[in-house]
Amino acid sequence: MSLCALLCGLLCTLAPALAIAGAPRSLDERAVVELARKHGPGMAAIAQQVHSAEAAAVGVGRYPNPQLGWQREHQPGHGFEDALALTVPIDLSSQRASRRHLAATAVQLARSRAASQRGQGVLDALLRFYETMVAERRLAIAATQLERLDRAAEVLRQRHQEGTASGYELTRMELEGELARSALRTAEIARDGLRLALSLQLGIDGGETLQLVGPLAPTEAAQAEHEAEPSALREARAAERTADNAREAADATYVPRFSLSGGVRRVEENESQWGYQAGLSMELPLNRPAAPLRAQAKAARAQARAQAERLERTLLIERARAALLLSRTQAELQRFGSATRERVELLGRAVQQGYLEGRRTLIELLDAQRTRTAVAYRELELALAARQAELSLRAARGEFQ
């Protein structure tokens, strides 16, 4: 095979991969949620906390293992005596059940904390996602403003050459253009910084180009009621019930533990003689062994109850606040859009055409440009505020846990 044919084959093989690598990565809200749960900062540590609690609960409350023992005794003048015995501990008390419930309570509390932290991590990623989307749109607005000023400056340069415009007006317009160009660069820097932070937060290569897709303003589907109870609250309530079971088991009538033992004995003096042995031993409850379990169960129930109450109040407050902000911000967004959309278009056309025809002054043109830009920025701010309130409401309903 010739070198030329080999290179052509290699290029044909790598062309699809190179095309895919150069294409921007599309990122929507669903993808952000999935990536945040997998690669978000602290997500591995959150999962490890639950795994540690589950590992600590393994084996709690099991029956103790039986014991096999051998013993040799020698008495001078009487030979040797060997004993082989099996001892089986028997525990009929409720302490084992209480310990199992306490371990299960610790696991459920760990899951409750993990769900809260996981939901907050997803919410942070979504907030940054929409902040980045707003930064891209602010960049587009700044670019549009600079383009309009450049067109107006070109007209003013022609007038200055014709002698119908003063040098002051040209300098004023050029300075306004430089201000807009600097604002554009600042908006680009802010956009790039947010993109990089979002990529790193989601475990994406910082050099990969992102294409953010999806609406900025809240949608009806996103605001639909989340019927399921938040996982953090559900696990906290379950932990409270389990701690109650642990306390009931600890409060049950105490049954002392005892052990049964049995085996064979061999006495070797002049000849070997075989026999057996059997025994029963019982624990003497001098130190109130159930008291520590009662105290632990009481403390676990208080902790679970406090966590459940904290979550209930926190989620209630956040739902009420977010619902209020969402409804009022959306109403203001609709009102502002209806009140300004036609006026801004009319103002832009009238001033631009009037300036080109010489009927409007430079000051009027610049004032109209600032007004149009301010209106566009304000609409973006309202849309972002509405989306942030909607995300907070969904987070308080437990959707991201």
pLDDT along the chain (401 residues), means of 10: 52 46 81 94 92 90 85 78 88 83 95 95 96 96 91 84 83 90 96 94 86 87 69 95 90 77 85 85 75 89 95 95 95 94 86 73 84 93 96 93 89
d(CA 175, CA 167): 12
pLDDT of residue 153: 86
Place of tokens 């015995």: 85
CA gap 50, 46 in Å, rounded = 7
Determine the pLDDT at residue 35. Answer: 95
Determine the pLDDT at residue 2.
54
What does CATH list as the number for 24-60+93-254+289-396?
Answer: 1.20.1600.10
**Residues β-bridged to residue 260:** 88, 280
Other beta carbons less than 10 A from residue 336's beta carbon: 15
Q: Which two tokens stand for residue 22?
A: 């150069």
Q: Whole-model pTM above 0.85?
A: no
Distance CA 110, CA 50 (A): 5
183 closest CA partner among 142, 133, 150, 140: 142
Q: State the Cα angle at 24 between 19 and 29, rounded to 5°.
A: 140
What 3-state class would DSSP assign to 148?
Answer: helix
Domain-wise residue ranges, the chain: 24-60+93-254+289-396, 65-90+255-288
The one-letter amino acid at 12: C
Torsion over CA: 327, 390, 225, 117 (sign): negative
Quote the pLDDT of residue 316. 94
pLDDT reported for residue 156 = 83
